[in-house]
Amino acid sequence: MTAGPLAGIRILEVGHILAGPYATMMLADLGAEVTKIEPPTGDLSRQVSDAYFASLNRGKRSICLDLSTEEGQQRLGELASVSHALLVNLKPSAIRKFGLTYESLRTRNDKIVCVALTGYGLHNGDDPAFDYVIQAVTGVAALTGDPDGPPTLPGYSAADNSTGLTAALGLLAQIVSGRGGQLDVSLHDVMLSQLNYRASAYLNEGTAPRRMPHGAHSYYVPAQLFPTADGTLALFITHDGFWRTFAAEAGIDGFGTMAERAARRDEVLEVVTAVLAGDSASGWERRLRPLGVPAAAVRSLPDALEATPDAVITAGDFRLVGSPIRIEGYEPRYGAPPRLGEHNDDVPAPSL
């Protein structure tokens, strides 16, 4: 078995709950040595549940430091001197207060990469910026839900997870450059970035986004959720080839081009809805998938996990979803989540 692609890379993490810890866990899965610096009370996610903490912190080390003390700052400097990167998920004032910036640590290690993961940016204040708040302020919530109902939110922390992945990407890019420096990644900017084609349509064409019934795509038709005889089907027809195959299987005539289907959206949806009512969601999935038509029955998370057992791994005493990055010849070593301060007595290795 080969070593992970990030073997030998040492990363420090300071933060709580989700975005930052998720970023560094993805890096640990790829072989990086991640040391979690926790306050005496521990990462707040430890207070949620052991399973929650494990889902974000498998395979890491834990060192307990009080960064408000001279002793804590001294140990931080020692750790920074032998690390490639530091990722911090705190409010900006705390990042500066505890000396968790490149400017503060460059005298210890001028090659260290310091990533500040914040709500609105390292220089934009301390306004509270939890995932749901960011989804509200960037327009994500306004785009989600039925047009006749209130704005809504997805059932998971989309902003935190997305920002964690973006921060990990930026951290690796700067390490590859061979230069140290300060990186600034915010939940606000990441979610605006993820509204890419929606924002472009508005900025360049004046087309304001709007919510569509059943989560329908703004142009592709039919591309949305449909009720069936039993369950709900996601059908996503993005070009005329898909439509021809689907229409042949469903016994539908006409509407041959996407432009026509977009112009006659209501007619198309009425016909498709009526046809799909003739079979169950799972029945349509079994019929359409072999034909190459994008379609899937809506599943619960337990059903989805049961259907994909290879996605589930073991880390210590916990069963978790493994890394989504598959590298030929490399199998991640999923270590247990660390106990608070488990590695306090470890002596930093020699300089890089």
Percentage of residues in the chain having pLDDT higher than 70: 99
Q: What is the pLDDT of residues 29-43, one digit of tens each?
A: 999 999 999 999 999
pLDDT at 100: 98
Average pLDDT on 147-158 reads 93
Q: Which residue has the tokens 């007595």?
A: 345
213-227+232-297 and 10-194+310-321 share a CATH fold: no
Per the confidence metrics, is the pTM higher than 0.75? yes
Average pLDDT on 62-78 reads 97
- Indicate the CATH number of 213-227+232-297 among 1.10.8.50, 3.30.1540.10, 3.30.750.24, 3.30.360.10: 3.30.1540.10
Cα atoms in the Cβ-side hemisphere of radius 13 Å centred on 246: 26
Q: What token pair was written down for 267? A: 């007619």
All structural domains of the chain with their residue ranges: 10-194+310-321, 213-227+232-297
315 vs 322: CA distance, rounded Å: 9
pLDDT of 1 > 70? The answer is no
User: Which H or E run includes 235?
Assistant: strand 232-236
Q: What is the pLDDT of residues 301-339, one digit of tens each?
A: 999 999 999 999 999 999 999 999 999 999 999 999 999
Name the nearest CA neighbour of 56 among 85, 29, 80.
29
Q: Are strands 113-118 and 33-38 parallel, antiparallel or unpaired?
A: unpaired
12 vs 86: CA distance, rounded Å: 5
CATH 3.40.50.720 is right for the domain spanning 10-194+310-321? no
Asked if residue 292 lies in contact with residue 236, where contact means CB atoms within 8 angstroms, the answer is: no
DSSP code for 316? T
Q: Which residues contact 309 (CB under 8 A, 6 or more apart)?
A: none
Q: In what order do the strands lie in the sheet with 295-297?
A: 223-227, 232-236, 295-297
Asked if residue 284 lies in contact with residue 276, where contact means CB atoms within 8 angstroms, the answer is: yes
pLDDT of 237 > 90? The answer is yes
| Angle value at C-alpha 83, between 79 and 86, nearest 5 degrees | 90
pLDDT at 111: 98
pLDDT at 351: 64
pLDDT at 349: 74
Average pLDDT on 200-212 reads 94
Cα atoms in the Cβ-side hemisphere of radius 13 Å centred on 308: 13
